Amino acid sequence: MTNRLSNEVAIVTGSTQGIGAAIARRFVAEGALVVLNSHRDDDHARAIADELGPERAFFIAADVADRAAMELLVARTVARFGKIDILVNNAGMNVFGDPLTLSDDDWKRCFAVDLEGAWNAARAVLPAMLVQGGGSIVNIASVHGHKIIPGCFPYPVAKHALIGLTRALGLEYAARGIRVNSISPGLIVTDMVERHFAGFPDPEAERTRQAALLPCKRLGTPEEVAATALFLASDEAPFINATDILIDGGRSQLYHE
């Protein structure tokens, strides 16, 4: 590692598994001080923080859908580390269903986490970033924010909106030193995706089928998403703002009958 985030302070929401955990690990490896987050306070979440080292990382349980909880998380981060340089909005949830049978609660929870959660966290960190004259916010969106897949409603609606939030905030604060970008992963092999594969009669056959749909003929890894988050959060991307980067092996650009 090259110490690309030396003593930068980062909050990574939804960072106790999958893409979020990979981002937290990579940031710490690159010298950052990281606040891990989940809506659940459990042994697994705290074990991730212990693995990364108490001097470099600590865990705060907070639901991103709760504005007051996110404000408290930010206040505790500033009290511990003195500043906030980076926010990665990774917390999210899948809500896939039929539009006409979807419950009001599922609709509201999807937007509360996938869209409002990112705004709650951004709204909480922006005052500190404005005072210090800079910062980077990276939102984890989705290929669903670019292409509509039938049967996945309302998740793509929230992810389209998250990319819109990214662009709007990026332009709003560009002249004040704050960059806001997003990443749109495609099929990334997280624990959740592994569980999805395990539900098929032949998990390996389903994995092979999914990989064959990609131009590169392989699935993505959380570490590949983390590498892009690192780039966007670092000083290597000072002129990249209000932009979304697709990480999907080129699948979204491929024409399908």
Give the percent of the chain with pLDDT over 70.
Answer: 99
pLDDT at 257: 47
Query: Has 155 been annotated as catalytic?
Result: yes
Domain boundaries, the chain: 9-187+221-246
> Would you state the pLDDT for residue 250?
93
Q: Give the pLDDT confidence score for residue 158 in this predicted structure.
A: 98
Give tens-digit pLDDT for 55-98: 999 999 999 999 999 999 999 999 999 999 999 999 999 999 99
| DSSP assigned state of 256 | -
Question: For the chain, what's the residue count?
Answer: 257
Tokens of 90: 């990774």
Residue 102: predicted pLDDT: 95
pTM above 0.85, yes or no: yes
Query: CA dihedral defined by 169, 175, 178, 183, rounded to 10 degrees?
Result: 50
Please answer whether residues 246 and 143 qualify as being in contact, where contact means their C-beta atoms are separated by less than 8 angstroms.
yes
Catalytic residue among 155, 170, 178, 222: 155
Fold for the domain defined by 9-187+221-246: Rossmann fold (3.40.50)
Q: What residues contact residue 238 under an 8 Å CB cut-off, 6+ apart?
A: 179
User: Residue 45: what pLDDT?
Assistant: 84
Q: Phi/psi zone of residue 242: left (φ > 0), alpha (ψ -120 to 50 degrees), beta?
A: left
Mean pLDDT of successive 10-residue stretches along the chain, which has 257 residues = 92 96 98 96 88 94 98 98 98 94 96 98 98 98 94 96 98 98 96 91 94 94 98 98 97 78
DSSP letters spanning 15-78? -SSHHHHHHHHHHHHTT-EEEEEESS--HHHHHHHHHH-TTTEEEEE--TT-HHHHHHHHHHHH
Secondary structure string (H, E, C) spanning 112-177: HHHCHHHHHHHHHHHHHHHHHCCEEEEEECCHHHCCCCCCCEEHHHHHHHHHHHHHHHHHHHHHHC
